[in-house]
Chains A and B, each alone.
Chain A
Amino acid sequence: MNKISESIKRYDFEDKISGKAIYTPDVHPEGMIYAKTLRSKVPRAKILSIQTPTLPEGYFIVDHNDIPEKNVIPVVFDDQPIFATDEVNYIGEPILLVCGSEKSVILEIMDKIIIEYQPIKPIVSIEEAQSCRAPFIFKEQPHFVHYEYQKGNFDECVKRAKRVISDEFRTGYQEQAYLETQSMIGDYDGHTVCVRGSMQCPYYIVESLKVALGWDDTRIRVIQMPTGGAFGGKEEYPSIPGVHVALAAIKSKRPVQLVYERQEDIQCSTKRHPTIIRINSYLDESDDIIARDIEVKSDGGAYAGLSSVVLQRMIFSVAGCYNVENLMIKGTAFATNNVVAGAFRGFGGPQAFYAIEMHMENIANQLKTDPIRLRKKYFVKQGDTSSTQGVFHDLIVLDRITDEVTAMSDFFEKRSRFKSEKQKGIGCSVFFHGCGFTGAGEPDLIKPSIRLKKDKSEVEIFISSTEIGQGALTTMRKIVATTLDIPINHVHHNYPDSRDCPDSGPTVASRTVLIVGRLLQDCAVEMKKRWDEESFEITQNYIYPSHLSWDNQIFKGNAYPDYSWGANVVEVEIDETTYEIDVKGIWAVYDIGTPIDSKIVQGQIEGGIVQGLGYAMMEVLESKDGKLSQDTFTTYIIPSSLDIPPIFSKLVENPSSIGPFGARGLGELPLVGVAPALASAVQQAIGTKISKIPITPEDILRGAQL
Chain B
Amino acid sequence: MVKSFRPTNLSEALDIRMNNDVMIFCGGSDIMIKYRSWSATPAQLPNDVMYIGHLKELRSLDVNPSEIIIGAAVSFDQFLHDERIASMYKKPIEQIGSVAIRNIGTFAGNICHASPAGDTLPMLYALNAKVVLMSKSCKRVVAIEDFISGPGMTCLKNDEILTHIIIPNTVFSHSFYRKVGSRKANAISKVSVFAVADVVEHRLADIRIAVGSCGPTVIRLKDAEARIIGSNIPESQQMVNSVLRMFDDKIVPIDDVRSTKAYRSNVALNLIETFLAKELGQ
Question: Which label, helix, strand, loop or mixed, suits the secondary structure of the B interface?
Answer: loop
Query: Least Cβ distance of A650 to chain B in Å?
Result: 27
Q: A104-B41, A259-B39 are in contact. Are A577 and B274 (CB under 8 A)?
A: yes
Contacts of A634 in B (CB 8 A): 188
Identify which of residues 193-232 in chain A touch chain B, using a CB-to-CB cut-off of 8 Å: none
- A191 interface residue per 8 A CB criterion: no
Please measure, in the bound complex, the distance between the C-alpha atom of A135 and the C-alpha atom of B38, giving whole angstroms. 37
Note all chain A residues with C-beta closer than 8 A to B240. none
The interface on chain B, measured as residues whose beta carbon lies within 8 A of the other chain's beta carbons, has a size of 25
Chain B residues with CB below 8 A from A618, complex form: 182-183
The one of A261, A578, A630, A640 that contacts B267, using a Cβ cutoff of 8 Å: A578
Among B16-24, B69-77, B124-132, B254-262, the stretch that binds chain A is B254-262
Residues of B within 8 A of A261 (CB): 38-39
Q: At the interface, yes or no: A107 with Cβ under 8 Å from chain B? A: yes
Contact of A107 with B271 at beta-carbon distance under 8 Å, contacts A640-B184, A642-B184, A643-B184 already known = no
> From residue 647 to 683 of chain A, which have CB atoms closer than 8 A to chain B?
none
Given the complex, which residues of B lie within 8 Å of A576, measured CB to CB?
270
Q: Which of B182, B262, B274 interacts with A702 by CB under 8 Å? A: B262
A546 to chain B minimum Cβ distance, whole angstroms, is 50
**What are 27 A-B pairs with beta-carbon distances under 8 A?**
A36-B38, A103-B40, A104-B41, A259-B39, A261-B39, A576-B270, A577-B178, A577-B270, A577-B274, A578-B180, A578-B270, A578-B271, A579-B263, A580-B180, A618-B183, A620-B182, A630-B257, A637-B187, A639-B183, A641-B185, A643-B184, A643-B185, A697-B263, A697-B267, A698-B259, A698-B263, A701-B262
> Within 8 Å CB of A579, what residues of B?
263, 267
Cα distance A106–B263 in the bound complex, in angstroms: 44
Residue B186 at the chain A interface, CB threshold 8 Å = yes
B39 close to A107 (CB less than 8 A)? no
A416 contacts the other chain (CB 8 A): no
List residues of A (607-633) whose CB comes within 8 Å of B's CBs. 618, 620, 629-630
Chain A min CB distance to B177 (Å): 13
**What chain A residues lie within 8 Å of B262 (beta carbons)?**
698, 701-702
Q: Residue A635 at the B interface, CB < 8 A?
A: yes
B186→A107 contact, CB < 8 A: no
Bound-complex Cα distance A578 to B269 (A)? 10
A640–B185 alpha-carbon span in the complex (Å): 6
- With A and B bound together, what is the CA distance between A701 and B253 in angstroms? 16
Inter-chain contact A103/B38, CB cutoff 8 Å: yes
Contact A107 B185 (CB under 8 A): no
Kindly state the separation between the CA atoms of A36 and B188 in the bound complex, as whole angstroms: 30
Return chain B residues, CB-CB under 8 Å to A106.
38
| B182 and A637 form a contact (CB under 8 A) | yes
- A107–B42 Cα gap in the complex (Å)? 12
CA distance A579 to B39 in the complex (A): 39
Q: Would you call B37 an interface residue if the criterion is a C-beta within 8 Å of the partner chain's C-beta atoms?
A: yes
Residue B87 at the A interface, CB < 8 A? no
| Contact (Cβ within 8 A) A107 B41 | yes
Contacts of A104 in B (CB 8 A): 41
Across the interface, name the chain B residue whose C-beta is closest to A104.
B41
CA distance A398 to B2 in the complex (A): 67
Q: Provide the bound-state CA to CA distance between A48 and B185, in Å.
A: 47
Q: Shortest CB–CB separation between residue A567 and chain B, in angstroms?
A: 27
Q: List B contacts of A640 (CB < 8 A).
A: 183-186
Residue B266 CB within 8 A of the other chain? yes
A629-B184 CB under 8 A given contacts A259-B39, A577-B274: no
**Cβ contacts under 8 Å, B37 to chain A:** 107
Residues of B within 8 A of A635 (CB): 257-258
How far apart sit A682 and B266, CA to CA, in the bound complex (Å)?
20
Residues of chain A with a CB closer than 8 A to B187's CB: 637
Complex Cα–Cα for A639 and B184 (A): 8
Q: A577-B267, A630-B257, A698-B260 are in contact. Are A637 and B38 (CB under 8 A)?
A: no
Q: Which residues of B contact A702 (CB under 8 A)?
A: 262
Q: What B residues does A639 contact at CB under 8 A?
A: 183
Q: How far is the CB of B253 from chain A (nearest CB, A)?
A: 12
Assembled-state Cα–Cα distance A2/B183 (Å): 40
CA distance A305 to B216 in the complex (A): 44
Are A637 and B40 in contact, CB atoms less than 8 angstroms apart? Answer: no
CA distance A371 to B5 in the complex (A): 68
Q: How far is the CB of A346 from chain B (nearest CB, A)?
A: 22
Complex formed: what's the CA distance from A103 to B39 in Å? 9
Name the distance in Å between A614's Cβ and chain B's nearest Cβ. 9
Q: Chain B residues near A107: list those with CB within 8 A.
A: 37-38, 41
Could you tell me the distance between the alpha carbons of A106 and B37 in the complex, rounded to whole angstroms?
12
B186 neighbours in A (Cβ, 8 Å): 640
B residues 203-230 in Cβ contact with A at 8 Å: none
User: Which residues of chain A have C-beta atoms less than 8 A from B38's C-beta?
Assistant: 36, 103, 106-107, 261
Question: How distant is the Cα of A641 from the Cα of B184 in the complex, in angstroms?
Answer: 9
With A103-B39, A635-B258, A643-B183 already in contact, 17 other A-B pairs whose C-beta atoms are closer than 8 Å: A36-B38, A107-B38, A261-B38, A261-B39, A578-B271, A579-B267, A618-B182, A618-B183, A620-B182, A630-B257, A635-B257, A637-B183, A640-B185, A697-B267, A698-B260, A701-B267, A702-B262
Cβ-closest 10 pairs across A and B: A642-B184, A640-B185, A642-B185, A577-B270, A698-B263, A637-B182, A103-B41, A578-B180, A643-B183, A637-B183
A261 to B41, CA, bound (A): 12
Interfacial residues of chain B within 162-183, with CB under 8 A of chain A in the complex: 178, 180, 182-183
- Per-residue interface assignment for chain A, residues 21 to 39, with 1 indicating a CB less than 8 Å from any chain B CB and 0 otherwise: 0000000000000001000
- Binary interface encoding of chain A residues 75-104 relative to chain B, with 1 for a CB under 8 A from any of its CBs, else 0: 000000000000000000000000000011
- A701 surroundings in chain B (CB, below 8 A): 262-263, 266-267
- Shortest Cβ gap from B95 to chain A (Å): 10
Cα–Cα distance between A261 and B271 once the two chains are bound (Å): 39
CA distance A620 to B258 in the complex (A): 9
> Chain B residues with Cβ under 8 A from A577's Cβ?
178, 267, 270-271, 274
**Among A261, A635, A698, which residue has the most Cβ atoms of chain B within 10 A?**
A698
Distance from A293 Cβ to chain B, minimum over Cβ atoms (Å):
35
- Closest chain-B Cβ to A268's Cβ sits at a distance in Å of 15
Which B residues from 77 to 134 make CB contacts under 8 A with A? none
Chain A nearest CB, measured from B61 CB (Å): 27
- In the complex, which residues of chain A have a beta carbon less than 8 angstroms from the beta carbon of B183? 618, 637, 639-640, 642-643
**Beta-carbon nearest neighbor of B98 in chain A:** A640
In this complex, the member of B38, B186, B271 whose beta carbon has the largest number of chain A beta carbons within 10 angstroms is: B38
A635 and chain B: residue at smallest CB distance:
B257
